[in-house]
Amino acid sequence: MRFIVLFVVVNFFWLTATSQVLDSMSYYNNTKKPVISDQQITEYAPTIQADGKTLIFEANQANSSTFKLFSSNLDGSGWTKPVSLDKINSSGDSLDLIGGPSISFDGNILYFFRSVGMQGNMEIFYSIREKDGWGEPINIGSPINTDGYEGFPSISADGSTLYFVRMNLAGPVSKELKRYKRFALQSIVPKKMRVAIGVSLKN
């Protein structure tokens, strides 16, 4: 009798587990193939607008030999096919790397960095949203940009602080995280940040 009861219980759990596995397989089989991620190319450094409906990232799409910026919008059927931010991507040399996007909280300003010249220098730019898309890139200028490497900007929600990476040319070559408060209005020297894993950054 105990054997029969045990057999029934084991079969019940086996059928339940099998059903769950089949359901999960059916779910993934019926899920539309994502249009953003593609194993043939590389996409990374995404930034998403506060309303969750616009995703901007860098990728080596469209037969590009280097990275450029692309955008995808969320509609009723999912994420749309990524499109190139042409005014930004077509500025400068076609081989310039353009990446590290960061969109402002209101969705009207896009910060990013791009290669400048042939010496491996990177500088931070921004673009203002227009009626027909993003406008021409504008160099954010000094004191944020130098003759070296500044990249991967990240703007705070209130728009008052810009975080970015700067290459340290004094001593061992390394990259440091900086923050710059009221960068658009005041001439304040960017401050070096001490960063530890699992520790949030505070002003």
Tell me the per-residue pLDDT of 104-148, one tens digit each, with 9 for 90 and over: 999 999 999 999 865 568 999 999 999 999 999 999 998 889 888
Q: Are residues 70 and 129 in the same domain?
A: yes
Q: Are residues 116 and 174 in the same domain?
A: yes
Q: Are residues 22 and 95 in the same domain?
A: no
Q: Are residues 53 and 149 in the same domain?
A: yes
Asked, for residue 18, whether it belongs to a domain, the answer is yes
- Rounded Cα distance, 80 and 56, in Å: 12
Q: Are residues 118 and 23 in the same domain?
A: no
Percent of the chain with pLDDT over 70: 59
CB 30 within 8 A of CB 22: no
Query: CATH no. for residue 50?
Result: 2.120.10.30
Asked, for residue 38, whether it belongs to a domain, the answer is no
CB 136 within 8 A of CB 91: yes
Q: Are residues 22 and 54 in the same domain?
A: no
Percent of the chain with pLDDT over 90: 35
Q: Are residues 50 and 94 in the same domain?
A: yes
Q: Is the pLDDT of residue 2 over 60?
A: no
- Rounded Cα distance, 69 and 57, in Å: 6
* Number of folded domains that form the chain: 2
Q: Are residues 93 and 172 in the same domain?
A: yes
- Rounded Cα distance, 28 and 17, in Å: 17
Please write the tens of the pLDDT for every residue from 54-103.
Answer: 999 999 865 556 899 999 999 988 888 889 999 999 988 888 899 999 99
Asked, for residue 203, whether it belongs to a domain, the answer is no
* Greater model confidence, 178 or 20: 178
Q: Which domain holds residue 6?
A: 1-31
Q: Are residues 83 and 139 in the same domain?
A: yes
Asked, for residue 10, whether it belongs to a domain, the answer is yes
Q: Are residues 67 and 15 in the same domain?
A: no
Q: Are residues 47 and 127 in the same domain?
A: yes
Asked, for residue 200, whether it belongs to a domain, the answer is no
Classify the C-alpha dihedral 137-140-142-148 as positive or negative: negative
Q: Are residues 124 and 26 in the same domain?
A: no
Q: Model-level pTM?
A: 0.69
Asked, for residue 70, whether it belongs to a domain, the answer is yes
Q: 136: left (phi > 0), else alpha (psi -120 to 50), else beta?
A: beta
